[in-house]
Amino acid sequence: MNYEIRNYQRGDEEFLRKICLDTCEEKLESKAKRESLCLRYVDYYYQNETVFVAVDGENRPIGYILCATDYRSYRKRMKPYLRRIFQLDKRGWITYLAEMAAHGFFAKYPAHLHIDILPAYQKEGIGTALTERLFSFLREQKKDVHLLCGAGNKKGNAFYRKRGFRRIFRGFGVVVYGKNLSETF
């Protein structure tokens, strides 16, 4: 498989949104749910945060890893998106509740990540390459990282555990994982 990991570039937005929708395990029968999902997991990040993109041989995005390096700043900048998310899909509250329940852990794990790879490109090492690129970046900043994963997402949960994430909270149908990257210094 021929792929490259690069920084986000203008023009990637629609590809990233499509990857997000194509990898979602939820039923997305309405336009509002699709829009809410993209607001939660893509749009905010490419406008405000660190984004690495896996691209195929023709420079088309096939996966991404998005990261807010400081959770407190992320929550503040996310507020306008949250209002719109909750208007579109009340289910957005579930993710918010899980985050608030695990909030005490975020001082220890201040960076927050989200990763998706198109199904046809999974199990090719792309997820590992994306996480290692991000981990290298976060180690330079001496930042530990957390993420949320659906409790029923068996592939996702296995992926994170295999990469050394440990469960720090489970509730509201979500598992929150943390990974220590800063102690290597």
Q: What is the CATH number of the domain that holds 108?
A: 3.40.630.30
Q: What stretches of 11-63 show up as alpha helix (H) in DSSP? A: 13-23, 31-38, 44-48
Given the DSSP bridges, would you call strands 145-150 and 111-117 parallel, antiparallel or unpaired? parallel
State the residue range of the domain holding 117: 3-143
Between these two residues, 99 and 174, which has the higher pLDDT value? 174
Tell whether 41 is covered by a domain. yes
Q: What is the pLDDT of residue 93?
A: 65
Inter-residue contact 53 to 13 (CB < 8 Å): no
Closest listed residue to residue 64, CA positions, set 109, 12, 25: 12
**pLDDT tens, residue by residue, 135-167:** 999 999 999 999 999 899 999 999 999 999 999
H-helix or E-strand containing 154? helix 154-162
96, part of any domain: yes
- Is 9 a member of any domain? yes
Q: Residue 26: inside a domain, yes or no?
A: yes
Could you tell me which residue, 119 or 75, shows the higher pLDDT?
119
Residue 16 lies in a domain: yes
Q: What is the mean pLDDT of the chain?
A: 90
- Look at residue 184 and tell me if it is in a domain: no
Non-local (6+) Cβ contacts of 134 within 8 A are 50, 52, 65, 67, 113, 145
Six-digit token pair at 159?
């992926």
- Look at the chain and report how many structural domains it folds into: 1
Is residue 179 situated within a structural domain?
no
Give the CA-trace dihedral at 51, 45, 72, 161, to 10 degrees. Answer: -60
For the segment 33-74, what is each residue's pLDDT rounded down to a tens digit?
899 889 988 998 988 899 999 999 999 999 999 999 998 888
User: For position 60, what pLDDT does the model report?
Assistant: 97
Specify if 25 maps to a domain.
yes
